[in-house]
Amino acid sequence: MMPLLNRPVVDYIVQDCIKAGITDIYFVTGKAAIQLRAYYSGHTALEEYLKERDKHAMLESILPPEGINFYYIEQDQTDGYYGTTVPVWLCKDVIQQDEPVLIIMGDQYLYREDGGSDFVDLIDKVNEQQTDAGMVAVPAPKESGDTSEPDEKKPVKGNVDADLVLWVMKEMKNYNKAVIVSGDGDFYSLVEYLDEQNKLSKILAPNAHYSGLFNRYEQYIERLDKFRKELSYYDHKKRIKK
């Protein structure tokens, strides 16, 4: 529910799903995800308030999406199971055999200057190539001497983590300190190097389930779940009274 401009990040993802024709959206959340449920519920008092004042443009912006079904599956965060595959496993009972699905992490919003949808493009590409699966990723640049044609079918390699590390290194002279927003041990080498160069400021881990590789850098770690109250989305709609 981290806000981006005047909307939570998750809503950009939801709107991208709607563009792709998805009507059933399952959220895998923790027990404290009350604000997420509230955001996609109706706000009768606020709706009446805006109607009485003829603020119809604002009214449309707070109404839940029509024809979209939202479901919530609670993940037990105390059982020690943590990772990107756990939410998928928790949805196994609601996914039918051979049913097409999109698996999206809560922070996987990609900005498109053309107003398009990466999810639409992904679905179209999977259908076009008649493959079983696809992935939205940052494509690796072609190697020099690669003479393959653009339309030639070949695997596309994604360098998501590698690109992030590369740009941190390339831009090092342009910043004094770096903040690593991840608890993923894949960034251990980067953290180690930043520390050696006296460039490491903080490691912002989502919760206590960060990689054990970061134990030696415990003095830099700040757990975001300890700042839930300060960082959580605040529903101002509920404060408006008739």
CATH number of residue 15's parent domain: 3.90.550.10
Q: At which of 75, 104, 136 does a domain end?
A: 136
Q: How far apart are CA 106 and CA 19, in angstroms?
A: 17
Predicted TM-score (pTM) of the model is: 0.52
Greatest mean pLDDT among 52-66, 74-88, 93-107, 136-150 lies in: 93-107
Q: How far apart are CA 49 and CA 54, in angstroms?
A: 9
Q: At which of 136, 166, 186 does a domain end?
A: 136
Domain co-membership, 131 together with 84: yes
Residue 201 included in any domain: yes
Q: What pLDDT digit, counting tens, does each position of 153-162 carry?
A: 555 444 556 6
Count up the domains in the chain and report the number: 2
Domain co-membership, 41 together with 131: yes
Domain co-membership, 99 together with 178: no
Residue 241 included in any domain: no
Residue 212 included in any domain: yes
Domain co-membership, 43 together with 159: no
Q: At which of 136, 163, 190 does a domain end?
A: 136
Residue 234 included in any domain: no
Question: Which residue range forms the structural domain that includes residue 86?
Answer: 1-136
The DSSP 8-state label assigned to residue 206 in this structure reads S
Cβ(202)–Cβ(178) below 8 Å? no
pLDDT at 198: 92
How many CB atoms within 10 Å of residue 73?
13
